[in-house]
């Protein structure tokens, strides 16, 4: 079993390596892959120093699984090359998510749809993953009709450059700017670029990806905001259902759902926060309560580590599911 991590020197790629090691992912050989300018660098994996290789060399080695976290343009160019060489690609960029022939997968929700014919599998956006994880059991029980979500997203979602900018600002050090204004002590109502409808690309990812994963009939509207934290993303979620619900039943469903952790005791100041989700793989849900302004509607607060379940861990879980279901066609025999 050969596993390639494409984008191994990046922020998410580094977390992918950490998750693979923590979960003792079954492999015989790890191939850290990056751009040609990064080839020759080294990474540490299971106490061994491994050299980073370029894309052409990685394709020639025909890994069984290629975990991609290298940006949309790279994925569009190279994911088909890996797939043609026999690899199963699990891509963390936005390149393939809304492609009609590519599956958008959160294992706990729709992993059962995967087949051996899926050679490029899309990993959803970080903010989408935690949202649909919380919505899925409730949609099955009550039928989600409309979702209003406001996000409070970690600067790690922008990348290393933004994290460094915030750290520089806190230390009073001049440095390269990821944003044209302060990140620290600020709240920025912009994640990704603005589109013609005045929503950002991140906001529309939440709309379209939620529909693709759960139900095309769900109405979703979103406001995505960048906040000066590094532990994970938070979301205030207002959900309108087709059927009445009891709040105690809602909490039971959330408590019993794989991958979710209900943390909901506000009188004791127990509720999800990025500092609690940091480094964890669960999606935390709390502040679950009735919306008192209209029927069949609730509010909840959803938090997850965007680099783990929101990116790296979800991708590794897809790979684990492929192995468990015997869906990998070995690239070595093609």
C-alpha distances (whole Å) from 230 to each of 45, 107, 153, 278 are 24, 25, 9, 8
C-alpha distance across the termini of the chain, in Å: 14
The pairing of beta strand 88-91 with beta strand 120-122: parallel
Task: Kindly list the domain boundaries of the chain, sorted by start residue.
Answer: 2-124+311-333, 127-306
Distances (CA, A) of 211 to 22, 193, 271: 32, 21, 27
Q: What integer pLDDT is reported at residue 144 of this predicted model?
A: 98
Which residues, including other chains, have CB under 8 Å from residue 72's CB and lie 6 or more apart?
Answer: 93, 94, 95
The reported pLDDT for the residue numbered 36 is 82
Q: How far apart are CA 274 and CA 284, in angstroms?
A: 9
Instruction: Using DSSP bridges, classify how beta strands 297-304 and 283-290 pair: parallel, antiparallel or unpaired.
Output: antiparallel
Q: What is the pLDDT of residue 288?
A: 98
Q: 137 and 234 in contact (C-beta within 8 Å)?
A: no
User: Does the domain spanning 2-124+311-333 belong to CATH 3.40.50.720?
Assistant: yes
Exposure string of 44-83, with b = 16+ CB inside 10 Å and e = fewer, is ebeeeebebbebeebbebbbbbbbbbbbeebbeebbeebb
Contact assessment for residue 178 and residue 158, using Cβ atoms and an 8 Å cutoff: yes
pLDDT of residue 38: 82
Contacts made by residues 188-193, CB under 8 angstroms, sequence distance 24+: 188/225, 188/226, 188/227, 189/223, 189/224, 189/225, 189/226, 190/224, 190/225, 190/226, 191/151, 191/153, 191/157, 191/224, 191/225, 191/226, 192/224
Which pLDDT score is estimated for 334? 52
Name the fold adopted by 127-306.
Answer: Dihydrodipicolinate Reductase; domain 2 (3.30.360)
Answer for the pair 15, 160: CB distance below 8 angstroms, yes or no: no
Q: Which of 41, 74, 34, 73 is nearest to 57 (CA)?
A: 34
* CATH topology agreement for domains 2-124+311-333 and 127-306: no
Total-model pTM: 0.96
d(CA 124, CA 69) in angstroms, rounded, equals 12
Residues labelled catalytic: 126, 233
Write out the two tokens for 44. Answer: 């540490």
pLDDT in tens, 191-217: 999 999 999 999 999 999 999 999 999
Q: What is the pLDDT of residue 265?
A: 97
Nearest C-alpha neighbor of 62 from the set 88, 93, 26, 24 = 88
Low-confidence ranges of the chain (pLDDT < 70): 330-334
* pLDDT at residue number 37: 81
């Amino acid at each position: 079993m050969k596993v390639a991590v494409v984008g191994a020197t990046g922020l998410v790629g580094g977390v992918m390596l950490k998750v693979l090691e923590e979960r003792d992912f079954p492999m015989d050989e790890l191939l850290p892959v990056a751009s040609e300018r990064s080839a020759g660098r080294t990474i540490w994996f299971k106490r061994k120093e491994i050299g980073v290789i370029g894309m052409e060399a990685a394709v020639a080695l025909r890994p069984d699984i290629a975990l991609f976290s290298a940006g949309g343009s790279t994925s569009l160019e190279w994911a088909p090359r890996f797939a043609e060489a026999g690899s199963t690609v699990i891509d963390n960029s936005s390149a393939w998510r809304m492609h009609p022939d590519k599956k958008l997968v959160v294992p706990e929700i729709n992993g059962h749809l995967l087949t051996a014919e899926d050679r490029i599998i899309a990993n959803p956006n970080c903010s989408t993953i935690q949202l649909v994880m919380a919505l899925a059991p409730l949609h099955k029980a009550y039928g989600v009709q409309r979702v209003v979500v406001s996000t409070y997203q970690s600067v790690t979602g922008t990348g290393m450059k933004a994290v460094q900018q915030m750290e520089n600002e806190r230390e009073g050090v001049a440095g390269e700017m990821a944003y044209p204004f302060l990140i620290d002590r600020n709240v920025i109502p912009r994640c990704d670029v603005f589109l013609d409808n005045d929503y950002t690309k991140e906001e529309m990812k939440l709309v379209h990806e939620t529909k693709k994963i759960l139900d095309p009939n769900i109405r979703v509207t979103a406001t995505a905001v960048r906040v000066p934290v590094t532990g994970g993303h938070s979301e205030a979620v207002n959900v309108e259902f087709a059927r009445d619900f009891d709040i105690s039943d809602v909490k039971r469903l959330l408590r019993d759902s794989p991958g979710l952790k209900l943390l909901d005791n506000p009188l004791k100041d127990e509720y999800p926060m990025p500092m609690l989700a940091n480094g964890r793989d669960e999606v935390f849900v709390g502040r679950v309560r009735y919306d008192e302004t209209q029927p069949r509607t609730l509010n909840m607060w959803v938090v997850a580590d965007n680099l783990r379940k929101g990116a790296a861990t979800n991708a590794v879980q897809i790979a684990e599911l492929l192995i468990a279901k015997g869906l990998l066609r070995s690239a070595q025999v093609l």
